[in-house]
Amino acid sequence: MIKKLFILTCIALVVAIPFIFRRMEMTLIPRDPDDVIVIITAHNETLRSEYGRGFSEWYRKKTGKIVTVDWRHPGGGRDVARYVDSLFLNNFRQYWEKTLRNNWNQEVRTIFSHLENPPGKNPPPLDPKVRQAFLDSDVGCGIDLLFGGGVFDHKSQCAKGYTVPCGLIQAHPEWFTDDTIPEFFAGERLWDAEGRWIGGSLSTFGIIYNSDAVAALGVEHPPTTWMDLADPRYFNGIAIVDPTKSSSTLKSYEMLIQQQMQIILENYLGNKDRTHPGREYLESLAIKEGWIAGLQLIQKIVANGHYVTDSSAQTVLDVSDGNCPVGIATDFYGRAEKANIENRGAKPRFHFVIPEAGCSPSPDPISLYRGAKHRELALEFLEYVLTVPGQSLLAFKVGTPNGPAQTPICRMPILKTMYNPEFMPYYNDPDVNPYNAGNFVYHEGWTKPVFDALGFIFKIAFLEPEDALRKAWRHIQRAHKEGRHGAANRALAVMEDLSMFEYDAVAREIMVEAKNKDYLRAIRYQTAVAKKFREQYEKAYKIAKGE
């Protein structure tokens, strides 16, 4: 009996010990914080954890109070936008019906769902009433801040009226100068003039590759330009993220397209003076031709793809492990994986490179939501992000003053002063300085009229018929190897025919389809276009095959 009791006691202890220690760990997290702030983000768990800890420590030292960050993480940037849309829609409906005593119907819903679009010349009588009712209200979404996700997402929420001026520019004018955070850099706006969004860090986009896997393909020189990714030797080897799910990936494709525009413009101008009277006309030609050339380059990258995923983290891991030789990633994913490998003392097989003359640093913003319940605390978080402690957290090594506690974040601070010599010993990568600009300058006006259609085109022309696209591309390369260059070139011309997406047509017609809220019509249109391109790729395949 004593023996059985002893055994049962041991079993009970084994079962209880994990719960005892877990309870001890939980005591480190405040059960009854003085304040709570709600932040929605597409950022990964590493950044959320480190910023939650860092802000809590900074706020406690400043005020003596304990704060908890309630993170909301529905997915990527587009998932965040959809989630916030639904929250604002539901809360405005409550306000419209219960506070204003108005009837809710499909017309009101449609107007509210299109707040980002300016009213037409003759809007229906209800249109301005709905818009003004929302802008005059304090209707919120139950969330205080939007953290990260790219300028496009923040501008979109500004246009809808979801985000409001935070007052930080007025409170700290010394931060918003050319010597600290310039308003513009390399063509990119780093903060909204009205203060509705503020860049908290800088990001670039580039190529990740596994040097062992690239060498195994017989590629002598690793990829250093966007154009290198069209090399047929990378067939079935590129890890691709779906730009309709990732705003950062969409931005990288915009950079790729803008580089094509700049290359064509430089070829047109040659040695001509930049004030040449025909520059404006030549620039308009370069924009239109570069748009198609960029889409054709993206088409070949997809044709070389191993897969298209929703997860940026998956592409980094697969390239790091050698499952895919090459991929596209944001700098912080690439640099963080490189740092992790180096910290383990493993062979430096994983690399991240910014494409030559193919990218400019973009801000990773933070915005304050209308109707924020914890507005004062949200403003404290905004201030923390732009202080030395908040900026140090981005780039410093683990364990350094103000650095991360567990995992390096590997992002680039937006404060110019953070690149002063006294901080460099603490950096994970002291050679990185986004303000040492290359010769790429971003021109927002070049792609703004068509940008919203870019992900839409990717989906219907490349992603949905991707099997047919890859089959055509594979047989075009096979025809070249067999010496049938004529057939290969004819097939390529068919595959690359993107004339329905000419710049003016996209700005005038495709944009309408991309933003169409009539889902039945949208599905019919997408299905028809995907079918057209599938047939087009099948035709290219047959030509390449010699049929």
* Model pLDDT for residues 388-415, shown as the tens digit of each residue: 999 999 999 999 999 999 999 999 999 9
Looking at the fold, whether 229 and 324 belong to one and the same domain comes out as yes
Q: From CA 453, how far away is CA 242, in angstroms rounded? A: 14
Looking at the fold, whether 109 and 159 belong to one and the same domain comes out as yes
Q: From CA 210, how far away is CA 217, in angstroms rounded? A: 11
DSSP secondary structure letter of residue 191: B
pLDDT tens-digit series, residues 466-502: 999 999 999 999 999 999 999 999 999 999 999 999 9
Nearest to 113 by CA among 482, 517, 395, 450: 517
Q: From CA 78, how far away is CA 64, in angstroms rounded? A: 37
What confidence score (pLDDT) does residue 196 get?
A: 97
Q: From CA 405, how far away is CA 49, in angstroms rounded? A: 9
Strands 188-189 and 184-185: antiparallel
Q: From CA 144, how far away is CA 149, in angstroms rounded? A: 15
352: pLDDT confidence band, cut at 50, 70 and 90?
very high
Which is more confidently placed, 18 or 35? 35
* All residues at 6 or more sequence positions from 129 whose CB lies less than 8 Å from its CB, including other chains: none
**Is 442 contained in some domain?**
no
Looking at the fold, whether 491 and 526 belong to one and the same domain comes out as yes
Owning domain of residue 348: 205-359
Strands 67-72 and 197-203: unpaired
Looking at the fold, whether 303 and 284 belong to one and the same domain comes out as yes
How many domains does the chain contain in total?
4
Summarize the confidence of residues 226-241 as an average pLDDT.
97
Looking at the fold, whether 192 and 227 belong to one and the same domain comes out as no
Residue with tokens 């949905």: 464
Nearest to 209 by CA among 227, 234, 232: 234
229: pLDDT confidence band, cut at 50, 70 and 90?
very high
Looking at the fold, whether 460 and 386 belong to one and the same domain comes out as no
Quick check: 13 pLDDT over 80? no
Residue with tokens 């599938």: 534
**Is 438 contained in some domain?**
no
**Is 267 contained in some domain?**
yes
The answer to whether the Cα torsion of 40, 43, 49, 55 is positive or negative is negative
Looking at the fold, whether 13 and 89 belong to one and the same domain comes out as no
**Is 434 contained in some domain?**
no
Looking at the fold, whether 375 and 473 belong to one and the same domain comes out as no
Per the prediction, the chain carries an average pLDDT of 90
Q: From CA 339, how far away is CA 408, in angstroms rounded? A: 8
Q: From CA 115, how far away is CA 106, in angstroms rounded? A: 14
Quick check: 364 pLDDT over 80? yes
Q: From CA 244, how far away is CA 310, in angstroms rounded? A: 9
**Is 163 contained in some domain?**
yes
Looking at the fold, whether 536 and 417 belong to one and the same domain comes out as no
Quick check: 82 pLDDT over 60? yes
Summarize the confidence of residues 349-355 as an average pLDDT.
92
Q: From CA 424, how far away is CA 395, in angstroms rounded? A: 10
Which is more confidently placed, 229 or 314? 229
Residue that is last in its domain, among 369, 391, 426: 426
Looking at the fold, whether 406 and 507 belong to one and the same domain comes out as no
Q: From CA 404, how far away is CA 260, in angstroms rounded? A: 39
**Is 19 contained in some domain?**
yes
Q: From CA 192, how far away is CA 163, in angstroms rounded? A: 11
φ, ψ of residue 205 in degrees (nearest 5): -125, 145
* CATH code of the domain in which 126 resides: 3.40.190
Which is more confidently placed, 11 or 184? 184
Looking at the fold, whether 417 and 492 belong to one and the same domain comes out as no
Looking at the fold, whether 211 and 345 belong to one and the same domain comes out as yes
pTM for this model (two decimals): 0.84
Highest mean pLDDT pick, 117-121, 309-313, 521-525: 521-525
**Is 256 contained in some domain?**
yes
> Residue 351 is inside which H or E element, if any?
strand 350-353
**Is 54 contained in some domain?**
no
DSSP secondary structure letter of residue 427: B
Nearest to 28 by CA among 72, 68, 63, 62: 68
Q: From CA 104, how far away is CA 367, in angstroms rounded? A: 29
Q: From CA 146, how far away is CA 157, in angstroms rounded? A: 10
Residue that is last in its domain, among 318, 340, 359: 359
437: pLDDT confidence band, cut at 50, 70 and 90?
low
Quick check: 232 pLDDT over 80? yes
